[in-house]
Structure formats: C-alpha cells, structure tokens
Amino acid sequence: MRENNLQGKRRRKKHKRSENGILAGSIILCIVTLASITICLVMVFQNRAAQLQNVEVMSELETVRQEVEMSYTQAEVDQMIQEAVDQTKDETSEEVSVAFLSKLKEMMEAGDGATEMLRFFFPEEIVVADAGRYYFFPIQENLRKHTYDPLGFQMDGDQIMHYYENGERVSHKGIDVSKYQESINWKKVADDEVEYAFIRLGIRGYTEGEILVDDTFQENMEGALDNDIDVGVYFFTQATSEAEAEEEAAFVIDSIEGYDVSYPVVIDIESVSNRKARTNELTKEERTKYCITFCEKIKEAGYTPMIYGNLKTFMLMLDMEQLEDYDKWFAYYDEQMYFPYEFKIWQYTNTGKVSGIDGEVDLNISFEELANE
C-alpha cells in the first residue's frame, strides 16, 4: 500500500511538472509569435512608408523634369557620352554593349555631331542646341502631334520636296520672299508651279523699335496676285509689350487692306543675334503673351493667324501649350523632319532655286489647301 502511494505521488508530481512545462512552452511560443507579428507589422509599415515616399519623390522628379529645362555645355555633353559608354561596358550585357558602341562609332565616323547623336539616343525628348548648350524637352502628350509619314516625303532632282499619300502627291509648293530677292519675275515663278507665296510686309527694328514696311512689299503683292499665286504675308516682330503687339497687328491689317490675302497672316518670331536687341530680356511667358495678342487681333480682322518659327522659337522662346489654337509654320533645314507637334507648313530650305528669282529663296511645303475662300 505505501509503495503504491509513493508511486502515485511520483506520478502526480511528474504529471504536474509536465503540465507546467507545457504551459511555459505555450507562453514562450505566444511571446515569440507576438514578437514576430510585431516585427512583420513594423516592416510592412516601413515598406509602405518607403513606397509612399518613393512615389512622392518620383512625382516631384517628374514635375521637375517637365517644368525645368535641362541644359548642358558641350563639355558636359562629351562627358555624358563618355559616361554612357563606360556605363554600357559595366552594366549591360556584352551584346548590348557592342551594339551601343558600334552605333556610336558609326555615327562618329559618319561625321555626326553631338546634336545628332543626342537626338538618336534620346528619342523621347526634343534636343535643342543653342549658344553652345543643349536643352532637353520631354515630348508633351497633351499637345497635338502631326501625322505625316516620314516615308511620304520625297526630294526630286531639282531639290523640291513633295509629300505623297497612297502614291498620290498631296503637297503644295510655296515660297516666301522679301526685299532680299530683289526684283522678281512673277510670271516665271508661276510657271515653275509655285502655288502660294508669303510676302514680307515689314519689320520692327530690333534696336530702335521703329516699324518699317518692306521695300518690295507692294511690288511683290501685285506681281504674285496678277499671276494667280495665292498670297499670305508675314511680319517680323520685336514687340516688347502688349501695346506694341497690338500696334504691329494694326499696321499689318491696315497694310493689306485692298489686297486679296487668302493665305495666313503670319507673325515671325526669331531670336536676334545682337546683344543690343530690345527683346533679349523677354521671358517665354512674355513672348507668348505678345504672340497671342497679335494673333487675336488678326483673327478679329477676319484673317487666319499663323506663327512662324524654328526649333528654338517653339521650344525655348514660346510656351507651346498656350498656342494650340494657332497654326504653325515650322522652319527646319533638313530632308528629315525633327518636330513631333502639329504644323501646317514646313520651310525646309533657305537655299532653294525657283525660276524668275535670281539667287536663293526659301522653299516651303504644305499639306492641305490653306487659302480662305
């Protein structure tokens, strides 16, 4: 009996110790589990915070990318190209590296400059070279794009550009002239299949600001119209205020009264390479405002306004987003267009040849009938 009692006590003590061990193990396991959950939650929150911070930073970078014009010196561009080469060697596969370096070598051996190479390697941006610097503008999706097929442009043996759709020529040949073309035989010009001509009406001086009519304006207007060539006019602006922009528009409207101006009335906006030019200190916003003022006055008078400029004009000098309501006449002297946005006329050379004009003349191609009936 005593032996049985002792064995029973031992079994109860052993069972009690076993229960205590299980309880302690359960408590430890719960603590470990809670600690793990806590750590996981902390990591999740930290990761989420990092994601939000990353989104915020990327948003800020995108805003800066869109609003700030990045510019680089020639030395900086050379360094960028070298760094790109070095990075390609270090970070990409041998196949990609060889292809990249091969293309770079090919372009350099072909004599392509830094501008051409940058435009090739940055196809999603518009690269503008000006005064020894390079500016990069992301292509804006909210602006209308032209739909011209690069393969549709063909240069004939006389260096006249044509545009074809489905095998049919749909383009129109035009010129623009001023006193620098001197006396023009408009009959010969018409016989050379020139359909329209933009006549320079006048300019505002870039130092004194005086408005001057082109010496050959009247002669050219009458000569073109007498030979059934449609005419538009252009005025070289140097307005430094809204009042001056209105003055220029009024001068143009008064000067074309009595003429059958069926093509657009154009404001010519270009930079002047003179340190004393009165417009040198104008901001992009100011130039855009004066441009709109001119165009609206022309529209009110019943004519079609148009803006003439080159790559620098439209990317560095004007705010394209504010000018969607106006037609563009784009100057770019190459056989391949480099401008993604909508335009109506392309001035593709300033060294063209046309019968009836001694010397060189600007040649233009348009893609639809622009004459007002």
pLDDT of residue 104: 83
Cα-flanking dihedrals φ and ψ of residue 356, to 5°?
Answer: 95, -5
The encoded tokens of residue 219 equal 């002669």
pLDDT of residue 88: 63
Q: What is the DSSP string of 51-83?
A: HHHHHHHHHHHHHHHHHSPEEEEHHHHHHHHHH
* C-alpha 31: how far from chain center: 62
Q: What is the DSSP string of 164-183?
A: EETTEE--EEEEEE-GGG-S
**pLDDT per position in the chain (373 positions), as tens?**
433 433 444 444 444 444 444 444 444 444 444 444 344 433 433 444 444 444 443 454 444 444 445 677 778 777 877 777 677 666 556 666 778 788 888 988 998 889 999 999 999 999 999 989 999 999 999 999 999 999 999 999 999 999 999 999 999 999 999 999 999 999 999 999 999 999 999 999 999 999 999 999 999 999 999 999 999 999 999 999 999 999 999 999 999 999 999 999 999 999 998 999 999 999 999 999 999 999 999 999 999 999 999 999 999 999 999 999 999 999 999 999 999 999 999 999 999 999 999 999 999 999 998 998 6
pTM score, whole prediction = 0.77
Q: What is the DSSP string of 222-259?
A: HHHHHTT-EEEEEEE----SHHHHHHHHHHHHHHHTTS
The answer to whether 237 and 290 have CB atoms below 8 angstroms apart is yes
Region of residue 362 (phi > 0: left; psi between -120 and 50: alpha; otherwise: beta): beta
pLDDT of residue 78: 76
The β-bridge partners of 265 are 233, 305
pLDDT of residue 23: 44
Q: What is the DSSP string of 325-364?
A: TSEEEEE--SSS----B--SEEEEEEEE--TT-SS-EEEE
